[in-house]
Homo-oligomer: A and B are copies of this chain.
Amino acid sequence: MSERIALPTLLAQAKEAAIAELHARMAGEGFTDIRSSHGCVFAFIDPEGGSRLTYLADRSGLTKQAVGEAVDDLEERGYVRRAPDPLDKRAKIIKLTERGDAALATSKRIFDEIERDWQEQLGEDIVVALRSALERLRRVGAEEPGATPARLRG
């Protein structure tokens, strides 16, 4: 109780804990080669039709180069593949492979599980309040001129 810990510190620790938990459980289910930096792909890719690199970069707030590296990595590991875009010969569509699809589904399930675990440990109302507060914060932040860097997940 002695010291009031700064909010960003608390936010960062909570995020770190959740991400670490995610990767631990992903590894436990056989996805041992997925790293946080792949999050910019999984978090925003269209599971059905795939997405363009530029789209993923926009959404994640990273540069095309950074996302391109993540895609290279995921392609090597068999989670995605690059297909030509029939509408634009410059562009490529990044699509999930079967394995990539499984990884995405698993990660989504684990996120839900973690949130439920937190609810059990803290009480459902508290976690609901936490989510609600963060979502509101996101909305008011989006309206401001500074814009959001976005990022995350994996």
Which of A68-76, A81-89, A94-102, A137-145 has 4 or more CB atoms under 8 Å from chain B? A137-145
Query: Provided the pairs A7-B111, A137-B17, A153-B9 are in contact, do residues A129 and B131 lie with their beta carbons within 8 angstroms?
Result: no
Q: Please, how many residues of chain A have a CB less than 8 angstroms from a CB on the other chain? A: 48
**Bound Cα distance A7, B132 (Å):** 10
Which of A27-35, A50-58, A120-128 has 4 or more CB atoms under 8 Å from chain B? A120-128
A104-123, CB < 8 A from B = 108, 111, 114-115, 118, 121-122
Decide if B137 touches A118 in the complex (CB within 8 Å). yes
18 other contacts beyond A13-B148, A21-B146, with CB at 8 A cut-off? A6-B111, A7-B111, A7-B115, A8-B15, A9-B153, A10-B131, A10-B134, A10-B138, A11-B11, A11-B18, A13-B134, A13-B149, A13-B151, A14-B141, A16-B148, A17-B149, A122-B140, A127-B133
Q: List 19 A-B contacts (CB under 8 A).
A: A5-B135, A5-B138, A6-B43, A7-B114, A7-B115, A8-B111, A9-B153, A10-B131, A11-B11, A11-B18, A13-B134, A13-B150, A13-B152, A16-B151, A17-B141, A121-B140, A126-B129, A129-B129, A130-B134
